[in-house]
Each structure stands twice: as C-alpha cells, then as structure tokens.
Amino acid sequence: MERQSYYLILLLVAFCICIGVFLYQYNNDVDTFIILNETQVKENGTFSGMLMDAYSQGVPNKTITMHKPGNGSGTLDVVTDENGEFTVKNAEYFSNAVNENYYGHFTFSGDGKYKGCTYEGNVTVVTK
C-alpha cells in the first residue's frame, strides 16, 4: 500500500473513535437540571417547571418528586411531558401550616441515561 493509504486509514480510525466517544457521552450519564417558572403561587393556582439535560433539551417521561405543603403531608410526584415540562395544578394552602406552605425540594432521581438532580428552591403558596 502507498503511504497515503495508511494515512487515510489512520484518519478514518481516529474519526470513528471520536464519533464513538461523542455518542457515548451524549447518551450516558447526561447531567440534568430542574427549572421552575414561579417562586410564588396563589392558593388553587398552577405553576410549572422543566427538566432539562446538559444539551438544553427537555427530558420526557421522568418523575419529579417534591415536598407538599402542610405539616408532614409528604411528597407529590409529577411526570414530565414529551417536552420535559411538568405542571402542578390546584396548589394547596393550609392555614395552620405557617412555615410549611410551599412546594420544595424538587428531585429527579436519575436513570441509566440521565444523572439525578435536585432543585433546592421553593414555590410558596399564598392565600388569594
């Protein structure tokens, strides 16, 4: 073989390795972020957010877990839609839960493709 053929083969092998590394990084252990559009919502109101990956794409069909308003009232799970967006409707307000009237600690636990993440902020529920 000519010397130029060896260089061409070497370049093709290097190109294939680069493509393989890119595809692996794009499809495995991708960082995620939760974004919310509100910090305060009225009682019985609606707020939404989005689960995004490191490439600014919405992550569809994933469960987001959050703290529910009220003293010891547990958690609420919502699932992202095909665009990675989620919505909480009919926000609850408890008059006896003075400092606990918020949705908070939004968490995505991750899976085989996406790393988990947590949004530590709160969405406070206020009376009408």
- Tally of domains in the chain: 2
**19 shares a domain with 44:** no
pLDDT tens over the chain, length 128 residues: 677 788 888 888 888 888 877 777 666 788 999 999 989 999 999 999 999 998 899 999 999 999 988 877 789 999 999 999 999 999 988 877 777 889 999 999 998 889 999 998 899 998 87
Containing domain of residue 64, as a range? 32-126
**112 shares a domain with 60:** yes
The pTM of the full predicted model, rounded to 2 decimals, is: 0.75
Whole-angstrom Cα distance, residue 20 to residue 17?
5
**82 shares a domain with 24:** no
Query: 23: Cβ–Cβ under 8 A, 6 or more apart, which residues?
Result: none
pLDDT given at position 1: 61
CATH of the domain at 64: 2.60.40
**86 shares a domain with 48:** yes
**83 shares a domain with 63:** yes
**79 shares a domain with 55:** yes
